[in-house]
Amino acid sequence: MSVARIAARLAALADENRAAFVAYVMAGDPDPASAAAILKGLPGAGADIIELGLPFSDPVADGPSIQRAGIRALEQGVTVAGVLDRVREFRETDTATPLILMGYLNPLLSYGLAAFAAHAAEAGVDGVIVVDCPPEEAGTLGDALDRQGVALIRLATPTTDADRLKIVAQGTRGFVYYVSVSGVTGGKQAQAQDIAPAIARVRAASGLPVVVGFGIRTPAQAAAVARVADGAVVGTALVDVLADALASGRDPVAGVLATVASLAQGVRAARLVAA
């Protein structure tokens, strides 16, 4: 499946004239049982694509919320190998929802890039986003993932000019992840009217769907992005719901899935409202 699973899902949603709702959660956060329940529950709650965060000790592109989520995960002993096991378990009940791992390069280097690509494909991972691995440094990883049919999904940002966009578009598979703001996760808020031209630009350069992330928190914001993009990612807002539930002794699973449902509702209704 892999790249094909991403393409199939995005094509099916395009046929329905709606964007994908992409839900980001940190693997293993806040504990193994809750994390497994969240992962299993995401598709039913309305996540069209799942992004699973791989925790890293030094997440330079992440704001405080996802930093803390990573620390919680690492305190639970989450490893790359462990995350791949969780993906295997997820695939026992869901073979249709694309699942993408998002993290930083060093844990993958430590695991071994060729082994990681092979094991990720076998576990049922469809794509990988490596935040600190720009196209210029992605040769070995990209080749390894290509051989396994796993998409190396590249990031385009507001600072990516036309010349660079060609480089970014060249090796990307599945979709292009457009980082809508120059900032860390959970920081500035994206404005749909500002990103529409950029999405058109990235779509034209890559010939691929464009999924937008960073700076989307509410169903209304997700809907606004879903009107102009092929997908909208929400991460920090979900992680915040989880953290708040933990802090107040409520069930993090129910909280996250309810939020996913309302965000998904926003995305699903977006173009209906617009039309």
Q: Quote the CA–CA distance of 31 and 33 in Å, as a whole number.
A: 6
- Which listed residue (44, 58, 147, 220) binds other proteins by CB under 8 A? 58
Q: Quote the CA–CA distance of 55 and 27 in Å, as a whole number.
A: 7
For residue 228, state whether it binds other proteins (rule: CB under 8 A): no
- Residues 69-88: x where in contact with other proteins by CB under 8 A, - otherwise, as a string: -----x----xx--------
Q: In a 3-state reduction of DSSP, which class is residue 104?
A: coil
Q: Quote the CA–CA distance of 181 and 29 in Å, as a whole number.
A: 26
- Which listed residue (23, 49, 131, 202) binds other proteins by CB under 8 A? 131
DSSP conformation letters of 149-189: T-EE--EE-TT--HHHHHHHHHH--S-EEEE-SSS-BTSSP
Beta carbons within 8 Å of 179's beta carbon, 6+ residues apart: 155, 156, 157, 158, 213, 214
**Cα-based distances in Å from 82 to 2, 36, 59, 175:** 19, 12, 19, 26
> Binding segment for other proteins among 20-28, 57-65, 215-223, 254-262 (CB under 8 A)?
57-65
Q: In a 3-state reduction of DSSP, which class is residue 102?
A: strand
Catalytic: which of 29, 62, 126, 240? 62
Q: Quote the CA–CA distance of 161 and 105 in Å, as a whole number.
A: 24
For residue 92, state whether it binds other proteins (rule: CB under 8 A): no
Query: Count residues contacting other proteins (CB under 8 A)?
Result: 43
- Residues 156-175: x where in contact with other proteins by CB under 8 A, - otherwise, as a string: xxxxxx--x---x-------
Q: Quote the CA–CA distance of 154 and 209 in Å, as a whole number.
A: 12
- Token pair of 238, please? 């979900």
Catalytic: which of 51, 126, 230, 240? 51
- Residues 17-56: x where in contact with other proteins by CB under 8 A, - otherwise, as a string: --------------------------------------xx
For residue 189, state whether it binds other proteins (rule: CB under 8 A): no
CB of 196 to other proteins, least distance (A): 19
Q: In a 3-state reduction of DSSP, which class is residue 78?
A: coil
> Binding segment for other proteins among 181-189, 236-244, 246-254, 256-264 (CB under 8 A)?
181-189
- Which listed residue (41, 149, 171, 187) binds other proteins by CB under 8 A? 187
DSSP 105: H
Catalytic, 51? Answer yes
Catalytic, 16? Answer no
Residue pair 49/100 in contact by the 8 Å Cβ criterion: yes
Query: Which residues are designated catalytic?
Result: 51, 62
Contacts to other proteins by CB under 8 A: 55-61, 63-64, 67, 74, 79-80, 104-111, 131-134, 136-137, 154-161, 164, 168, 179, 182-184, 187-188
